[in-house]
């Protein structure tokens, strides 16, 4: 079954939850209202459904191949990437000054979801390029911007992030790649970087590596790391490509999933030194790299939603086609499609509700990002920045962890056929696993949520968000519709559980850090669940209002049922998770190391 973009749900979120018409009132976004959003999403859907999605299975079966220092991507990828670049999709959210389209993240995130649903391995190349563009826009000199940005934004060149080394994974204080200054202001870079997505490939004329390295004499630890642009090919004064730089791919990894995406080991400086250009100031590299990482973390959360959506569509189609057993209610005398069986419906509804909740959360976070960067009122910008920063670890952590549950359910719906590679269901499960690991594991997102986002301000931001949830909760509880009241009750129970967890985290983080961090991932999952459930509650209120006069009444009615399901089956988990956070630390930490 081929991919069909869920445009109705995306546009519902963009219009009603992200309130795109308010985004369109901000300077620079005047032409980016609902009409534009719909037109862009429809065009994006065509490209992804017709060109990029058909390459997904081929990429898994015939992945990128490495030979003699070069990587050949899956047949069809190069041509599809050219079409992607020529269509202006790489530059969708980037400034018009450098050839981009300057559209809001609210629209760009939906396009990112479609691309990743269509083909996650393919989508990783534009994702990393976006990160490189963001870093150069933020910290690059005018000269670096003029040389690299237009080509990156047009898709003629691609970008990478080079953080990890064999001994330095999550702990970047251990980075050993070194940069030696040259008299002309450039640097020679020496070292090995691993896990470099699209570090070598044949889809673009040049690859612009953004590399963390230490300048000679820099302070130890993370305070001594600088960021460099190291191009695969040097760029001549007239913009044409010159000599090959001293950076070479020595191998690519053999992986569980995302097989078509080449994950390279890059060697810098084996033949005298790779020429690099300092980005911003020395010793501020980690600060700049975090700009890339924050953009990438949000994007990886969207990948979780995207892969879950693809798995859901495949599972629904299979459940409608596969005939097994008579329905338990006796409504049919013969074997029926398995979608008639209550437990299959439960699995499909779990998949659907999870995806819709996470998609709504990501869309609202994108709108907050747009307001944080473009709203004319400084106080509004500040509040939206706080909201977005709080949401990033949730979009990344919760959406990706939930994508594992959803893609696993996708295999389960297929039964034994799901375990057979030829059906394709297993690919989504395998591809999803990396999402909880790269760009910071779930535990790292949880540490961020506990340390920077909750305990640092004594839980004030978290409590303010709970206040917003309570407002929606009260609307639901006072609504005439019984389903709304039921969702309001679940939302209240989840909010109270969350506040208990916030009180524990903020109150104990300094005095008993092991106790708090033992429950950090459950805290992230509880928070993500509540925030997604909040958005489903908001969606339900809209759908109940719209249903009577809606041209698509069936869509609105389904939204109400899905929101009720989310509340009863997913939000209802929150009080139990609260108990594990507040009461369960000792049994995590007390067992002696020798007993393991």
Q: Cα–Cα distance between 222 and 245 in angstroms, integer? A: 27
Q: Are residues 501 and 516 in the same domain?
A: yes
Beta-carbon contacts of residue 445 (< 8 Å; ≥ 6 apart): 297, 393, 394, 396, 397, 524
Residue 2 lies in a domain: no
Task: Pick the last residue of a domain from 152, 173, 207.
Answer: 152
Query: Which is it for the CA torsion 214, 218, 223, 229, positive or negative?
Result: negative
Per the domain annotation, does 404 fall within a domain? no
CATH number of residue 225's parent domain: 2.40.110.20
Same domain, 222 and 239: yes
Residue 390 is assigned to a structural domain of this protein = no
In residues, how long is the chain?
Answer: 596
Q: Which of 216, 251, 283 is the last residue of a domain?
A: 283
Q: Are residues 236 and 121 in the same domain?
A: no
Overall domain count for the chain: 3
- Please tell me whether residues 119 and 224 are part of one structural domain: no
DSSP state of 422: G
Q: Among residues 246, 268, 283, which one ends one of the domains?
A: 283
What CA–CA distance (Å, rounded) separates 399 from 300? 9
Domain contains 540: yes
Is residue 542 situated within a structural domain? yes
Asked whether residue 289 is assigned to any structural domain, the reply reads: no
**DSSP, res 456:** T
Residue 507: domain span: 445-585
| Bridging pattern class, strands 187-197 and 263-268 | antiparallel
Neighbours of 145 (CB within 10 A): 15
Residue 130 and residue 33 share a domain: yes
Would residue 201 count as lying in a domain? Answer: yes
For residue 282, give both structure tokens.
């020395």
Examine the domain organization and report whether 146 and 249 are in the same domain: no
CATH number at residue 85: 1.10.540.10
Question: Is 325 a domain residue?
Answer: no
- Shared domain for 125 and 28, answered yes or no, is yes
Task: Note whether 102 and 187 are same-domain residues.
Answer: no
Q: Both 139 and 204 in a single domain?
A: no
Q: Do residue 92 and residue 138 come from a single domain?
A: yes
Which residue is catalytic, options 200, 439, 470, 590?
Answer: 439
Residues 253 and 136 in one domain: no
- pLDDT tens sequence for the chain (596 residues): 689 999 999 999 999 999 999 999 999 999 999 999 999 999 999 999 999 999 999 999 999 999 999 999 999 999 999 999 999 999 999 999 999 999 999 999 999 999 999 999 999 999 999 999 999 999 999 999 999 999 999 999 999 999 999 998 888 889 999 999 999 999 999 999 999 999 999 999 999 999 999 999 999 999 999 999 999 999 999 999 999 999 999 999 999 999 999 999 999 999 999 999 999 999 999 999 888 888 899 999 999 999 999 999 999 999 999 999 999 998 889 999 999 999 999 999 999 999 999 999 999 999 999 999 999 999 999 999 999 999 999 999 999 999 999 999 999 999 999 999 999 999 999 999 999 999 999 999 999 999 999 999 999 999 999 999 999 999 999 999 999 999 999 999 999 999 999 999 999 999 999 999 999 999 999 999 999 999 999 999 999 998 767 678 999 999 999 999 999 999 999 999 999 999 999 999 999 999 99
Residue 475 annotated among the catalytic residues of the structure: no
Q: Are 17 and 129 contained in the same domain?
A: yes
Q: Alpha-carbon distance 569 to 223, whole Å?
A: 46
């Amino acid at each position: 079954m081929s991919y069909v973009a869920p445009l109705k749900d995306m546009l519902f979120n963009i219009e009603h939850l992200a309130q795109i018409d308010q985004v369109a009132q901000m300077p620079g976004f005047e032409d980016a209202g609902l009409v534009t959003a719909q037109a862009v999403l429809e065009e994006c859907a065509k490209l992804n459904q017709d060109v990029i999605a058909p390459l997904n299975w081929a990429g898994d079966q015939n992945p990128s191949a490495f030979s003699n220092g070069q990587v050949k991507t899956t047949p069809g990828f190069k041509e599809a990437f050219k079409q992607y670049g020529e269509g202006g999709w790489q530059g969708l959210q980037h400034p018009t000054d450098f050839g981009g389209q300057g559209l809001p993240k609210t629209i760009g995130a939906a396009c990112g979801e479609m691309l990743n649903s269509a083909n996650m391995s393919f989508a990783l190349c534009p994702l990393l390029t976006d990160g490189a563009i963001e870093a150069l826009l933020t910290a690059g000199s005018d000269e670096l911007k003029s040389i690299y940005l237009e080509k990156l934004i047009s898709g003629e060149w691609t970008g990478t992030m080079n953080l990890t080394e064999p001994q330095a994974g999550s702990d970047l204080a251990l980075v050993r790649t070194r940069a030696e200054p040259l008299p002309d202001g450039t640097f020679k870079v020496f070292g090995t970087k691993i896990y470099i997505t699209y570090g070598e490939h044949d889809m673009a004329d040049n690859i612009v590596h953004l590399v963390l390295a230490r300048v000679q004499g820099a302070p130890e630890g993370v305070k001594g790391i600088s960021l460099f642009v190291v191009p695969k090919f040097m760029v001549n004064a007239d913009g044409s490509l010159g000599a090959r730089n001293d950076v070479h791919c020595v191998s690519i990894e053999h992986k569980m999933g995302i097989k078509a995406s080449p994950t390279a080991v890059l060697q810098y400086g084996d033949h005298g030194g790779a020429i690099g250009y300092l980005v911003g100031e020395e010793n501020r590299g980690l600060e700049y790299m975090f700009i890339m990482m924050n953009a990438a973390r949000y994007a990886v959360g969207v990948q979780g939603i995207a892969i879950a959506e693809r798995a859901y569509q495949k599972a629904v189609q299979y459940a409608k086609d596969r005939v097994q057993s008579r329905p338990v209610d006796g409504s049919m005398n013969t074997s029926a499609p398995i979608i008639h069986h209550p437990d299959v419906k439960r699995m499909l509804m779990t998949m659907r509700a999870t995806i819709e909740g996470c998609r709504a959360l990501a869309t609202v976070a994108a709108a907050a990002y747009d307001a944080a960067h473009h709203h004319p009122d400084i106080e509004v910008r500040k509040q939206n920045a706080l909201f977005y920063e709080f949401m990033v670890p949730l979009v990344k952590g919760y959406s990706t962890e939930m994508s594992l549950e959803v893609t696993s359910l996708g295999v389960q719906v297929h039964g034994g056929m799901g375990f057979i590679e030829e059906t394709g269901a297993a690919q989504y499960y395998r591809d999803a696993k990396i999402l909880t690991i790269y760009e910071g594991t779930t535990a790292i997102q949880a540490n961020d949520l506990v340390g920077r986002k909750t305990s640092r301000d004594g839980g004030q931001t978290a409590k303010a968000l709970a206040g917003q949830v309570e407002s929606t909760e009260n609307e639901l509880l006072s609504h005439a519709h019984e389903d709304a009241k039921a969702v309001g009750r679940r939302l209240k129970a989840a909010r109270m559980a969350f506040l208990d967890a916030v009180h524990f985290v903020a109150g104990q983080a300094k005095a008993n850090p092991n106790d708090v961090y033992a429950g950090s991932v459950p805290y992230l999952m509880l928070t993500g669940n509540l925030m997604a459930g909040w958005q489903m509650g908001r969606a339900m209120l809209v759908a109940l209002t719209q249903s009577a006069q809606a041209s698509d009444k069936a869509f609105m009615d389904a939204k109400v049922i899905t929101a009720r399901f989310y509340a009863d089956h997913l939000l209802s988990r929150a009080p139990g998770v609260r108990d594990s956070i507040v009461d369960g630390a000792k049994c995590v930490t007390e067992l002696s190391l020798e007993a393991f």
